[in-house]
Chain A
């Protein structure tokens, strides 16, 4: 026993020695590490810890063990709906938004610099001005018989009464997904454009000499491998944002959405955290979401490693 302790002591002594030796390097990472600790690690750990309690925000938390998780998976029917919605959403908006970013970035890259700058701004605007877009779309898809789409459909005789685009549980998902897909071209798109700009031109010439037959081959074997890191960044951005979508949906259909038709995990969290003040439960949901996101990112990284092979 004492032997083992001695061994452990020796091990730490050795480690400290190494750290002391390289203290300058540690000093270099210290600013980031401290900030990371305070603003990222500590909240995550605290959230995970609080997810094991009953906590109503205003009164001190009480220990609950795995109660919240048990309830979440065994009793909460709504959580299943939320997971279903989130997955559908993430599956469409995540890769969809990502592919759109990639395609547009690639297309725009072919344009002369000045026009390219204009288009870049045009495509990036929706994600900056999303609040303004909400109102535009709300106006276009208004459930009022004088809403733009409804007025046209009514005029053509395709419908008899106005479609409640943002209230009818059947129609709502399509409209909301479509609208959000449009505004999901965001930061990832910018990084892709930047990446495309930095591809070494001489590689294309070399490729031509080496027998590249089509633009498609050029894209797959030269362009994409060159912008791999930007692609990874864009992918992480779009996947995480797809999982985290909630606010945008609320802007269109309100919270909670009619008949929970657009109830995502984020909404479920908000419902428990803000409406019901059940913070422990809400944090349990967020922990699950956190783990799901990590695994998704792992999966994406695995897929991206195959690009150009």
Chain B
């Protein structure tokens, strides 16, 4: 016993020393350059699982036995919000429901040193519908970054099977998704998919604490078990085992399963889709292409590309049909060029043998019949028993996991090099200057050389895997060449800087694409791969293909694209106009049909129409009843001319508007009436790059004073603070300052402009000073600057910023965050960080004959339930980057924000004020901008410019009020 502990101590020392060594290596950028052809040593990001495996686990032995932690044995804390359930949903004993935020910890004792996998028995308790994420820490420390977001899936199913979910025109539509929760047993696995095996945790003998920190969603835990996962046997062993049981290969029989008839799915964003590209894609019932109606004839595609997502199908094996089946898919990977898609096959919840962990599909624009087989072309077999079997295909990175791992670490390292160079040269380097990079940053130069070798190795590795040359490999080699040139001719780095910048983007996108595994599946075939009933060709012949295109073209003339679904002639029917995206429109239509019309018995005719048509239509007396998605100024414009109906006349109006923030509804208020219900609201938050901020030891600015103090620091490193531009139509960048100074846009019952008040003038002076004194950029693409680290901190609209960065900046995933905007310190010591909010809403047209019904629709549409469902469905259809910024507060809380994000959003939302809309109000924005032009571009006096412009605004307000016979201010 004594001996073992001594050994342990030594091992710890060893690892500690190793870690310190590795860290110091990383810090000082001293890397040995890899010579041509030599195998590269993968350099893992600091604190990554790769590093953990290589250092901590390199010499660790597998643990012994099982350590079981019952959910209910957690260490309770005051007000932690966790609940204990007994005998829940068929699981005997107590289980712990961990809340959507906060921590839950367990104490346990480990008998001997060793690594363990961690198995969970959990129930996806109802939450907002996104996957459950927990950060696992042991003894208060997250062992590696991959343990910080361990993901647990929910179970989803189509509410209505394909063929049953129809719109009223008879087209098959995406069915609403429902959760079909049950108890799930799974190991904690790597969310990024780089490691297929369950995560390992090294534990020393003795007492430890494990904590689960909630990132998203509630999770019901029955128990967690530390144990070593069983190794998956090889195909040979398994096959021999089956053969010895007397199981036989199926002969001549084939079972066909239409892929759209799925059983369960890991994400609600995976759903049957319409495939128009191939004329022989089969419908859910096996019938051929339907040119009259839209059918959902396949599943997957770019909706099924994230690692870890899976789909299950049920295979009904007829009596006496038990045996060994081969697996064939009619599928295509036509999304990511130059890459594979890989799937792991699970039969009845188990990975049958190691080879099934990655079946691969090469890129192809057309369907292929892909039989899962070994190198010699012998199909791999799966054991299916009689009756119901469940086949699951899970997205894995497969062969590419090493490539992706190395690629990701290359992107991280090169990004760091980029930032180091940026800090020396600035964004537009001087070509003629010798920056002496060899003396300033020798480490970076060596790193460039080293990474050049890494990229070349990567290109070779890709070639080995897909067996052909493609554009990815050649661009990798080109980038490597340029990196090497940067190393050799370091005096020319300035000139190569901009191509380096674009190379980084290319590389990041490439690596990101490699991790994607899109696959569209028409059907699955199980049985005898050489049976006569097997389809011969995966695609229609040439002439058949052309005929398909022609028929598609002809059918496009008879399709009505304006009316989504069929039109109801009923007297009660209301007409609703929508002008956003077609996908969104389809979702609204479906919701209106299966929820609103069913529950309220009011048919809705939803029309997809350009909003510029609203005015002429109203003029011609043919306006719709409700128009959705109106910009803030429109409702007032219609209201002034009696074309919009005052919603506050409805009895339950007061009750309804409670759902929205004050700052949203006030923008639709005109002369005491309210003319629209808010649909969306957005406002600025402060985005920042966590890596750059922490590396430079900056504290995030709380006030503008802090910003001005931080600026020299940032500008010294050739970085800048981002602030949104204003235009002749949008004055909000100024209004944030105005509100923080306590000013108002209008005074005297909106009859006169109030920006000439002392607060207004001060705000204007500070705002224009940003550009004259502090050298803020007057025109900028903030998201791109942020992505490249040139503007590590800046203010941006919360929803655009979040969506754009999520969608188009994969290389800085997890390296950015946002918080409330800087404010101005008040006399009482608090900070006023008010921001101006922008809204859109829906209006009820005065011409409507069905006002009561239209009002019911508006209440339903802006209500919590509809907004939540709409937001979730839009995100599941359009994917990440389509988060909706609903104005309904309760619905906003239901969206899959992480707890931290939601807190910031709600905090900032509480500190927003609307930008009032008044008759003639367009003149305010216009002249605030003109005053800005005077000061910033023409160098005129700040106060004078503003006052001149305010006079013009007041004249316009006066004229407009006069035109509409409103009360007028005293004029001299």
Residues of A within 8 A of B (CB): 54, 56-59, 142-147, 151, 154-155, 161-162, 164, 167-170, 254-260, 275-278
Contacts and interface: CB of A to CB of B under 8 A. Distances in A.
B938 A151 contact: no
Interface in B777-803: 777-781
Interface string B727-770: 11100000000000000000000000000000000000000000
A58 B634 CA distance: 13
Q: Is the interface of A mostly helix, strand, loop or mixed?
A: loop
20 contacts: A56-B963, A58-B615, A58-B619, A58-B638, A58-B642, A58-B643, A144-B779, A144-B781, A167-B779, A168-B937, A168-B938, A255-B728, A255-B729, A256-B728, A258-B937, A259-B933, A259-B934, A275-B922, A276-B920, A276-B960
Contacts of A161: 775
Contacts of B963: 54, 56, 278
A142 B781 CA distance: 10
B728 A258 contact: yes
A260 B619 CA distance: 30
Nearest 5 Cβ contacts at the A-B interface: A143-B779, A58-B641, A168-B937, A58-B643, A144-B779
B929 interface: yes
Q: Which of A143, A151, A154, A260 has the most CB of B within 10 A?
A: A143
Contact of A164 (B428, B642, B643, B779): B779
Contact of B428 (A155, A167, A258, A259): A155
A278 B926 CA distance: 18
B959 to A, nearest CB: 9
A258 B637 contact: no
Interface string B939-960: 0000000000000000000001
Q: Which of A54, A59, A145, A255 has the most CB of B within 10 A?
A: A145
A162 B778 contact: yes
A167 B642 CA distance: 37
A167 B619 contact: no
A164 B637 CA distance: 32
Contacts of A275: 922
Given A167-B937, A254-B729, A59 B428 contact: no
Contact of A59 (B431, B642, B960): B642
A161 B775 CA distance: 9
B618 interface: yes
B430 interface: yes
Interface of B: 427-428, 430-431, 615, 618-619, 637-638, 641-643, 727-729, 775, 777-781, 920, 922, 926, 929-930, 933-934, 937-938, 960, 963
A277 B637 contact: yes
Contacts of B643: 58
A42 to B, nearest CB: 16
A301 to B, nearest CB: 36
A162 B728 CA distance: 20
A167 B428 CA distance: 22
B937 A155 contact: no
Given A58-B643, A59-B641, A144-B780, A169 B938 contact: yes
A155 B430 CA distance: 6
Contacts of B641: 56-59, 277
Given A59-B641, A143-B778, A162-B778, A167 B618 contact: no
Contacts of A254: 727-729
Given A145-B427, A167-B937, 13 more contacts: A56-B641, A57-B641, A59-B641, A144-B779, A145-B777, A154-B428, A155-B430, A155-B431, A164-B778, A167-B933, A169-B937, A258-B933, A276-B920
B772 to A, nearest CB: 10
A104 B926 CA distance: 41
A57 B728 contact: no
Nearest to B644: A58
A170 B729 CA distance: 20
B779 A256 contact: no
A144 B777 contact: yes
A59 B778 CA distance: 42
B619 A57 contact: yes
B620 to A, nearest CB: 11
Contacts of B781: 144
A54 B926 CA distance: 24
A61 to B, nearest CB: 11
Nearest to B494: A155
Nearest to B930: A259
B728 A257 contact: yes
Nearest to A253: B728
Contacts of B619: 57-58
A79 to B, nearest CB: 15
Nearest to B638: A58
Nearest to A168: B937
Nearest to B637: A277
B338 to A, nearest CB: 28
A256 B775 CA distance: 26
Nearest to B922: A275
A256 B926 contact: yes
Contacts of A142: 779
Contacts of B618: 58
A170 B642 contact: no
Contacts of A147: 779
A271 B215 CA distance: 50
A169 B929 CA distance: 12
B777 A164 contact: no
A105 to B, nearest CB: 37
Contacts of B926: 256
Contacts of B933: 167-169, 258-259
A151 B428 contact: yes
A256 B933 CA distance: 13
Contacts of A276: 920, 922, 960
A70 to B, nearest CB: 15
B584 to A, nearest CB: 24
A278 B933 CA distance: 27
A39 to B, nearest CB: 16
B265 to A, nearest CB: 40
A162 B779 contact: yes
Contacts of B615: 57-58
Given A164-B778, A168-B933, A258-B929, A146 B728 contact: no
Nearest to A157: B430
Contacts of A278: 963
A146 B427 contact: yes
A59 B619 CA distance: 8
A299 to B, nearest CB: 35
Contact of A167 (B427, B777, B778, B960): B778
Contacts of A164: 778-779, 937
A166 to B, nearest CB: 8
Contacts of A56: 641, 963
A72 to B, nearest CB: 14
Contacts of B934: 259
Contacts of A54: 963
A164 B933 CA distance: 10
B464 to A, nearest CB: 39
Nearest to B430: A155
B108 to A, nearest CB: 55
Q: Which of B430, B781, B933 has the most CB of A within 10 A?
A: B933
Contacts of B922: 275-276
A275 B777 CA distance: 30
Contacts of B428: 145-146, 151, 154-155
A59 B643 CA distance: 9
A59 B964 CA distance: 11
A257 B778 CA distance: 16
B418 to A, nearest CB: 15
A167 B930 CA distance: 10
Contacts of A277: 637, 641
A254 B925 CA distance: 13
Contacts of A143: 778-779
Contacts of A260: 930
Contacts of A258: 728, 929-930, 933, 937
